[in-house]
Structure 1
């Protein structure tokens, strides 16, 4: 499914996207009406469609953007890493770093994807499956054995953990570096458990 086409005047559209993203993430997509969105953007409700195609199309675009960024970062790690272990650790690090810069996107992806049309949901599911497969391939190269159904299920859970964990761990007394290290250690601990679990 092709990405939603941006409305002309890209600078204005990018500003609209960022404001809408902030509102959707703070209040939840389903609670934001078109009138709420128009008010937040500082425009009349009747002119909203001059700025966006639709509320749902914008949500789809934002979630799609997140998974495209995740896939891009994972593929870069594949090219750069010298060993399977470096590749796996690089993928996890890239995911956590992206969460730091796209936290609102992750919020929408995890909690509001169900608001998308079925075709849009299917496309997002496909992107997530592609990303999970890259993680599976990293683990298979590291262990030297194909991943069975139980390990694939566990790795799918690791992706969900990566998507949600940074929002769960509130540690204002910690430095950003220390918090990142804590998140990485928690993910690696969960990953270690997944790797120790018996195969099918």
Structure 2
């Protein structure tokens, strides 16, 4: 499998005289603000106030509030595509299991990113929406190929729908888990059960994920890489 495309980040580089820690602090506070209040109800003035800065100084780091949102959402798919590269070794079941477990781990470490990516996507410009959708399709194609390699043989439209459903479900779970009050370990267990149970409908052999699911056959595939 060839490497996924590399996507350029459209943020303005942090000036060399400013410490990277300040740049990351701006991003982190913006992420918290967008997750807490939503993109539309958040202002650069409020973000600056939380950082103890003048609002105009934020534009040394980012071109606009929308470009900042784009960068935060893009990071989700950068991480997922990097996870695909990092889990490319081993047999077909190892690659499938490794990618799904990496996705689940990211839900914990990037929970606010996923929340913002799913709920604030509509506020991106059309160009930025198209870029994010392209990255998401690339990731879904990689997951589809790993399902096929692991023995899935159902009709291709069914497999594509399954992959899209699993990715959509995974990306939205952090919001639900935050409300459920589960521990990190409990949350991971619930997520694994949902994901591996969903895949049991398209794999006829023993699931490489949970050890007990059943999966169906499929022919042909379209992969991003």
Q: TM-score, normalised by structure 1?
A: 0.88
Q: What is the aligned length? A: 197
Residue 2 of structure 1 aligns with which residue? 8
Q: Report if aligned partners of 1:147, 1:199 keep a CA contact under 8 Å in 2.
A: yes
Q: Report if aligned partners of 1:71, 1:131 keep a CA contact under 8 Å in 2.
A: yes
C-alpha deviation, 1:12, in angstroms = 1.4
Residue 191 of structure 1 aligns with which residue? 199
Residue 162 of structure 2 aligns with which residue? 154
* Structure 2 counterpart SS, 1:31: coil
| Pairing of 1:1-200 with structure 2 (within 5 A) | 2-4=8-10, 5-8=12-15, 9=18, 10-79=20-89, 82-143=90-151, 145=153, 148-169=156-177, 170-172=179-181, 175-195=183-203
Structure-1 separation of matches of 2:186 and 2:45: 42
Cα gap change, 1:198 to 1:77, in 2 (>3 Å): closer
Residue 222 of structure 2 aligns with which residue? none
User: What is the CA deviation profile of residues 158-191 of structure 1, one whole-angstrom value per residue up to 9, with x for unaligned ones?
Assistant: 101111123313553x543233122111111112
Structure-2 separation of matches of 1:86 and 1:119: 36
Comparing 28-37 with 111-120, greater Cα deviation is found at: 28-37
C-alpha deviation, 1:120, in angstroms = 0.7
User: In proportion to residue count, which structure has more helix?
Assistant: 1
Coordinate RMSD, CA, aligned: 2.2
Q: TM-score, normalised by structure 2?
A: 0.79
Residue 223 of structure 2 aligns with which residue? none
Q: Report if aligned partners of 1:20, 1:37 keep a CA contact under 8 Å in 2.
A: yes
Q: Report if aligned partners of 1:158, 1:187 keep a CA contact under 8 Å in 2.
A: yes
* Structure 2 counterpart SS, 1:193: coil
Cα gap change, 1:36 to 1:84, in 2 (>3 Å): same
Structure-1 separation of matches of 2:36 and 2:123: 16
Structure-1 separation of matches of 2:82 and 2:150: 21
Comparing 44-53 with 88-97, greater Cα deviation is found at: 44-53
Structure-2 separation of matches of 1:110 and 1:144: 28
Structure-1 separation of matches of 2:47 and 2:114: 20
Q: Report if aligned partners of 2:140, 2:164 keep a CA contact under 8 Å in 1.
A: yes
Structure-1 separation of matches of 2:161 and 2:40: 29
